[in-house]
């Protein structure tokens, strides 16, 4: 199946700093990517939809100025957590699809963010 890769898989940062997580579609072009966060033993929560060449659309309750999303190319979307706080510590997962009806959405391996 198609491959979606995230980097880094784990990152620790200090409170107040920013951290960037990359999501790449390795063998297909992704016009749309999605970002999720997941707390331990909980389900995935959709944060935002990343659209290539345009602004991301955020789910209700997600701070767009805190979680900056950039989708500059058809194979790369980035999530930047700005001014991170310990409560931002979570598992962040991206997904991508080719944008056609019936096409499967594939998920990245996830990125653990720990803010200390």
Partner 1 sequence: LAKTTQPISMDSYEGQEVNITCSHNNIATNDYITWYQQFPSQGPRFIIQGYKTKVTNEVASLFIPADRKSSTLSLPRVSLSDTAVYYCLVGDGGFNKFYFGSGTKLNVKP
Residue 35 to residue 58: CA distance in whole angstroms: 10
* 8 Å CB contact between 78 and 22: yes
Q: Examine residue 67 and tell whether it contacts partner 1 (CB under 8 A).
A: no
Applying CB under 8 A, among 11, 13, 44, 76 the residue interacting with partner 1 is 44
Applying CB under 8 A, among 6, 25, 75, 77 the residue interacting with partner 1 is 6
Instruction: Pick the closer one to partner 1 by CB: 83 or 103.
Output: 103
Applying CB under 8 A, among 15, 17, 18, 103 the residue interacting with partner 1 is 103
Nearest to 115 by CA among 10, 11, 13: 13
Tell me the sheet residues that pair with 95: 34, 107
Q: What ranges in 1-116 are assigned the alpha helix state H?
A: none
Q: Examine residue 102 and tell whether it contacts partner 1 (CB under 8 A).
A: yes
Nearest to 94 by CA among 13, 27, 29, 7: 7
Contact segment (CB under 8 A) with partner 1 among 14-22, 63-71, 74-82, 106-114 equals: 106-114
Contact segment (CB under 8 A) with partner 1 among 12-20, 68-76, 77-85, 105-113 equals: 105-113
């Amino acid at each position: 199946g198609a491959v979606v890769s995230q980097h880094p898989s784990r990152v620790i940062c200090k409170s107040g700093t920013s951290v960037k997580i990359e999501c790449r579609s390795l063998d297909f072009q992704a016009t749309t990517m999605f970002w999720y966060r997941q707390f331990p033993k909980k389900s995935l929560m959709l944060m935002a939809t990343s659209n290539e060449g345009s602004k991301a659309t955020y789910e209700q309750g997600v701070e767009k100025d805190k979680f900056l999303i950039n989708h500059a190319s058809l194979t790369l979307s980035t999530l930047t957590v700005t001014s991170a706080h310990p409560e931002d510590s979570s598992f962040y997962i991206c997904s991508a699809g080719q944008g056609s009806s019936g096409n499967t959405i594939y998920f990245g391996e996830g990125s653990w963010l720990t803010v200390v």
